[in-house]
A and B are shown apart, each in its own frame.
Chain A
Amino acid sequence: MTEIPEHLLKRAQAARDKAAEEAAPAAAAPSAEAPASDPRIPAHLLERSRSAKSKTDSDAAAGGGVAVLDKVAAVVAAPAASAGLPVGAGPGGHTQRLLTVVKSGSIQEVKASPVDKVHTWPHLLAAEFVAALACTAFTFVFSVFVNAPLLQYANINKTPNPSKAPWYFLGLQELLTMFHPMVAGVTFPGVGLIVLILSPYIDKNPSIKPEDRKFATSMMTLFLMTWAVLVIIGSFFRGPGFNFTLPWRDGIFFEL
């Protein structure tokens, strides 16, 4: 339950006191004129409710019909009999009810402190443009000097030795030398991917500070390094028959 602010409590108390004061003399003099003494209710509404009341009374003599006296004090005692009050009036004769007080912070984002921001143009776009240019230039220059491999026409009957997968799968191929194909080719990458996908839900530590995340950082580093080492071994240290070789001794058996 949300805490109700003090000023609202005070206001409600004051209203309740006032209602009690007004109800007291009316209760002391119960008469047909009593409702009219309640200044909060317009006369025409009282008239209408009284006519409705007499109609109801004649229709159903026993139907909760004790409510002859439309007084606030009586209403407090028997809310069901509040015919003289406006429809929907609550205990104490209030026509409004305070359901709950919701603090603004819980439903709307309140900016605690202004964020230091810069214009996307030119600060971000210029940097992105330069990065894109540099990337294009690098790819271009590299492509001028290094040609993509195009080996002989594919021959299904002539298996090259060694046969290697694309470099990003060479870690898996390296695992194939150690494990059963299902473990190396399916279980490891499958579990790896699932753990990667779930890592935000596994890692419940809310801090992003490196000093608070030593475990997560070291696990990821271990994972990436293992992977990199496997890929490098698969790429450069595997020769004919996918046997271990040393690239400086036997040459490189690797095509990108």
Chain B
Amino acid sequence: MANILDENPRPTLKDRVTKVNGSVQGSQAWNSIFRPGSIFRKGYTDSPRNRSYVIMNSVLYHLHPVKVKRHAVKVSYTLCLGGLSFFLFILLTVTGIFLMFFYRPEATQAWNDINNLQTSVAFGLLVRNMHRWGAHLMVLSVFLHMARVFYHGAYKAPREFNWVIGIILLVLTLMLSFTGYLLPWDQLALWAVTVGTNMMGYTPVLGSQVRFVLLGGAEIGPETLLRWYVLHVLFFPFIIVIFMAIHFWRVRKDGGISGPL
């Protein structure tokens, strides 16, 4: 009868994970990193104290407290949207710096530079694609983050002001994306920006002046390209970083993320 019962039952997923975990942590490579006196001078063993030190003794302490509410780590609550917006910003900065090496903001050069980047620079096309899709994704994730925050009522006291900062960040994200739109200097860029800035010209009192300053003339031209390049790579990133710093700081000061519902 005993043979009917399986003597070696199939390992469950948990067993497998435990086994893999054990073999990884027992491996030579793991120990060469985490044993005391190695890369981490004092080693790392998993203890509440060390868990606290990971945050407390690193630059991460500027972003995260040592402990967070248990419900705050549920992915289903935040969907990581705010964090992903920030991460996409970093990704865009990295890919954008790469693109800057190959791009000149002159009407006669810009399109050729992009074209050359795509055809004769290693990974040029890939990085440009990542920059463009990442940008669209960031606009989307900031939008969704706003919706998520609204539906959770997370803009209510004491977080009202952080909501205001968030709207400013949304506008800045749109401005970053829009200024970047012109830079390839192709038909799509030129005419999308023409349509966009024409609307701006209808603003009462200041509209035409603001438009003139932004375009560097009555119509879009080579001057516009230089202006929008500077706005795109320096001005708006600078402003948005400041507002992001305030935003993240306020998240912590206002008591972490909201909820649970």
Residues of A within 8 A of B (CB): 115-125, 127-128, 131-132, 135-136, 139-140, 142-144, 146-156, 158-160, 163-169, 172-173, 176, 181-182, 184-186, 193, 196-197, 199-201, 203, 205-210, 213, 216-217, 220, 224, 255-256
Contacts and interface: CB of A to CB of B under 8 A. Distances in A.
Given A131-B83, A135-B87, A148-B133, A186 B125 contact: no
Contact of A213 (B143, B153, B167, B219): B153
B150 to A, nearest CB: 5
Interface in B146-195: 147, 150-157, 159-160, 163-164, 167, 171, 174, 177-178, 181, 184-192, 194-195
B195 A143 contact: no
Nearest to B182: A154
Given A151-B186, A153-B111, A120 B192 contact: no
Contacts of A121: 51, 54-55, 60
A196 B83 CA distance: 21
Contacts of A153: 111, 185-187
Contacts of A128: 80, 83
A112 to B, nearest CB: 14
B244 interface: no
Contact of A196 (B107, B154, B167, B202): B167
Contacts of A136: 91
Given A150-B184, A168-B139, A127 B75 contact: yes
Nearest to A142: B133
Contact of B187 (A151, A205, A256): A151
Contacts of B118: 147, 150
B88 interface: yes
13 contacts: A119-B66, A120-B55, A123-B68, A128-B80, A144-B126, A153-B111, A154-B111, A154-B186, A163-B194, A193-B171, A199-B155, A203-B156, A208-B153
Contacts of A120: 55, 60, 64-68
B69 interface: yes
A143 B126 contact: yes
A166 B177 contact: yes
Contacts of B181: 166
Nearest to B189: A154
B133 to A, nearest CB: 5
Contacts of A200: 155-157, 159-160, 163-164
Interface residues of B, number: 85
Nearest to B195: A165
The 3 closest A-B pairs by CB, nearest first: A185-B199, A208-B153, A143-B129
A187 B161 CA distance: 24
- The dominant DSSP class at the A interface is helix
Interface of B: 48, 51-52, 54-55, 60, 64-73, 75, 80, 83-84, 87-88, 91, 107, 111, 114-115, 118, 125-126, 128-134, 136-137, 139, 143, 147, 150-157, 159-160, 163-164, 167, 171, 174, 177-178, 181, 184-192, 194-196, 198-200, 202-204, 207, 219-221, 258-259, 261
Contacts of B203: 182, 185-186
A207 B190 contact: no
B202 A186 contact: yes
B68 A117 contact: yes
A224 to B, nearest CB: 6
A119 B52 contact: yes
Contacts of A143: 126, 129-130, 133
A210 B199 CA distance: 37
B64 A124 contact: yes
B67 A155 contact: no
Nearest to A209: B261
Contacts of A149: 186, 188
Contacts of A206: 156-157
A205 B153 CA distance: 10
Contact of A155 (B60, B68, B187): B187
A127 B81 CA distance: 12
Contacts of B128: 148
A219 to B, nearest CB: 10
Contacts of B125: 147
Contacts of A203: 155-156
Contacts of A197: 163-164, 167
Contacts of A217: 151
Given A146-B133, A155-B187, A163 B83 contact: no
A182 B54 CA distance: 54
A152 to B, nearest CB: 5
A208 to B, nearest CB: 3
A142 to B, nearest CB: 5
